[in-house]
Structure 1
Amino acid sequence: MRTYNVLVVDDEKEIRDAIEIYLRSIESINIIKAADGLDALDILENNEIHVIILDIMMPKLDGIRTCMKIRERNNIPIIMLSAKNEDTDKILGLNIGADDYIAKPFNPLELVARVNSQLRRYTNLGNFPKTADDDEICIDQLVINKTSHVVTVDGKKVKLTPIEYDILLLLANNPGRVFPSSQIYEYVWNEPSFKTENTVAVHIRRLRKNRNRS
Structure 2
Amino acid sequence: MRPDPGPTSEPAVPTRVVVVEDEPTIARAIADRLSAEGWSVSIAGDGASGVETVRRVHPDVVVLDVMLPGFDGLEVCRRIQHDEPVPVLMLTARDDETDMLVGLGVGADDYMTKPFSMRELVARLKALLRRVRRAPAAADPGVPAALELGDLVIDRASRRVTRAGSPAHLTPTEFDLLLCLAQAPGTVLTREQLLADVWDWVDATGTRTVDSHVKALRRKLGPDLVRTVHGVGYALEVPPGPDGTSGGATSGDGASGDGTDSAP
**Aligned with residue 107 of structure 1, among 106, 112, 117:** 117
Task: Give the aligned partner of residue 95 of structure 2.
Answer: 85
Residue number among 11, 16, 36 corresponding to 1:5 in the alignment:
16
Q: Tell me the distance in 1 between the aligned counterparts of 2:96 and 2:214.
A: 21
> In the alignment, is the contact (CA less than 8 A) between 1:137 and 1:144 conserved in 2?
yes
8 Å contact from structure 2 (residues 101, 215) kept in 1: no
Aligned to 1:139: 148
State whether structure 2 residue 67 is matched by structure 1 residue 57.
yes
Q: Which residue pairs with 1:193 in the alignment?
A: 204
- Tell me, in whole angstroms, the C-alpha distance in 2 between the residues paired with 1:56 and 1:179: 31
Unaligned runs of 5+ in 1: none
Instruction: State the secondary structure of the residue aligned to 1:97.
Output: coil
1:187–1:130 CA distance, 2 compared to 1 (3 A): closer
Indicate the RMSD between aligned Cα atoms, in angstroms.
3.1
Taking the aligned partners of 1:191 and 1:131, their CA distance within structure 2 comes to: 25
CA contact (8 A) 1:26 1:116 kept: no
Amino acid at match of 2:204: S
Q: Please say if residues 182 and 194 of structure 1, whose CA atoms lie closer than 8 Å, have aligned partners that are also in contact.
A: no
**Counterpart for residue 165 of structure 1:** 175
C-alpha distance 172-59 of structure 1, shift in aligned 2 (>3 A): same
Structure 2 stretches of 5 or more lacking a match? 1-11, 223-264
Superposed, 1:37-52 pairs within 5 Å as 37-52=47-62
Aligned residues: 206
Q: TM-score, normalised by structure 1?
A: 0.78
Q: Find the structure with the greater CA-based Rg.
A: 2
Q: Determine the C-alpha separation between the residues in 2 that align with 1:82 and 1:172.
A: 31
Shift of 1:68: 2.6
* Between structures 1 and 2, the one with greater helix share: 1
Residues in 1 aligned to 2:126 and 2:118: alpha-carbon distance in whole angstroms = 12
Q: Is the 8 A contact 2:60 2:87 kept in 1?
A: yes
Query: Could you say if the C-alpha distance between residues 168 and 86 of structure 1 is closer, same or farther in structure 2, counting changes exceeding 3 Å?
Result: closer
State the Cα deviation string for residues 64-90 of structure 1 (Å, max 9, x = none).
221233333443221111233344443
Output one character per residue of 1:96-144: Cα deviation in whole Å (capped at 9) or x when no partner: 3322222222211111111111111222233xx7897473352146143
> What is the SS of the residue equivalent to 2:176?
helix
Change (3 A) 1:124 1:157: farther
For residues 109-128 of structure 1, what are the structure 2 equivalents within 5 Å? Answer: 109-126=119-136
For the residues of structure 2 that align with 1:102 and 1:202, how far apart are their CA atoms?
Answer: 12
Kindly tell me: are residues 94 and 130 of structure 1, through their superposed partners in 2, closer, same or farther at Cα, counting changes over 3 Å? Answer: closer
Q: 1:18 to 1:80 in 2, by over 3 A?
A: same
In structure 2, C-alpha distance between the alignment counterparts of 1:179 and 1:34, rounded to whole Å: 39
